[in-house]
């Protein structure tokens, strides 16, 4: 792994436009006959892949924490809307289906938060022993976030689809959470291997 300055001759960056994560600068980077000093080496020679892999555990826990927080925020936003919005002569929250949806959101989020707390405690004691849990946590928390965002948009209706609301913004962020740091499918396969279910 090397540290290469952006203005190094031969480095070409092309910005990519994304659905979400707009605060993150994303680009394709092409290296065309770049030359840089050997002092730019990070870590040991041929050790770059290991450095990246070692970073993944903490990154996945961090992403899971974000998903739990965002799910909680979505519950707050959807609940506030359901208490204020009136349809057919009564508040949205007075409709059983809306209350049940909010309970489903809260149940999944509480479970994701409890799993997160357990994995963080385990990780702080021994990082190597909880790779399967980290993988399963990432899937569980990102699925929870996706569920809560989808249900929040449904509760807000048209207002949840308009740019400028937290609900709409978070809805756009859900898919990248299921991809970044290792896709859902990769996490399942990694967990399977760690649990001795696959070679």
Do 67 and 145 form a contact (C-beta atoms < 8 A)?
Answer: yes
Largest alpha-carbon pair distance within the chain?
72
- CA distance linking residue 98 with residue 127, whole number of Å: 40
Q: Which residues contact 52 (CB under 8 A, 6 or more apart)?
A: 1
- Summarised one tens digit per residue, pLDDT across range 47-64 is 998 888 888 999 999 999
Q: Is the pTM of this model over 0.85?
A: yes
96-125 vs 131-156: helix axis angle to the nearest 10?
A: 160
Please name the residue that has the structure tokens 């961090």. Answer: 62
- Write down the CATH number for the domain with range 55-194: 1.20.140.10
For 151-163, what is the mean pLDDT? 95
pLDDT over 90 at 178, yes or no: yes
For 149-173, what is the mean pLDDT? 95
- Summarised one tens digit per residue, pLDDT across range 100-131 is 999 999 999 999 999 999 999 999 998 678 99
Ranges of CATH 1.20.140.10 domains, the chain: 55-194
More confident residue, 5 or 152: 152
């Amino acid at each position: 792994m090397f540290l290469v300055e952006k203005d190094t001759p031969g480095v070409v960056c092309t910005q990519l436009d994304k659905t979400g994560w707009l605060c993150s600068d994303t680009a394709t980077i092409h290296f065309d006959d770049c030359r840089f000093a050997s002092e730019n080496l990070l870590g040991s020679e041929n050790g770059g892949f290991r450095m990246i892999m070692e970073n993944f555990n903490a990154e996945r826990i961090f992403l899971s924490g974000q998903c739990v927080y965002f799910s909680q925020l979505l519950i707050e936003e959807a609940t506030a809307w359901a208490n204020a919005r009136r349809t057919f002569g009564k508040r949205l929250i007075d409709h059983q289906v809306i209350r049940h949806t909010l309970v489903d959101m809260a149940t999944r989020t509480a479970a994701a938060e409890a799993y997160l707390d357990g994995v963080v405690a385990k990780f702080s004691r021994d990082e190597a022993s909880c790779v399967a849990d980290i993988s399963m946590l990432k899937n569980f928390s990102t699925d929870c976030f996706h569920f809560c965002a989808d249900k929040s948009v449904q509760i807000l209706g048209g207002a949840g689809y308009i740019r400028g609301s937290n609900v709409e913004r978070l809805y756009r962020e859900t898919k990248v959470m299921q991809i970044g740091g290792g896709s859902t499918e990769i996490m399942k396969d990694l967990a399977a291997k760690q649990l001795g279910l696959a070679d």
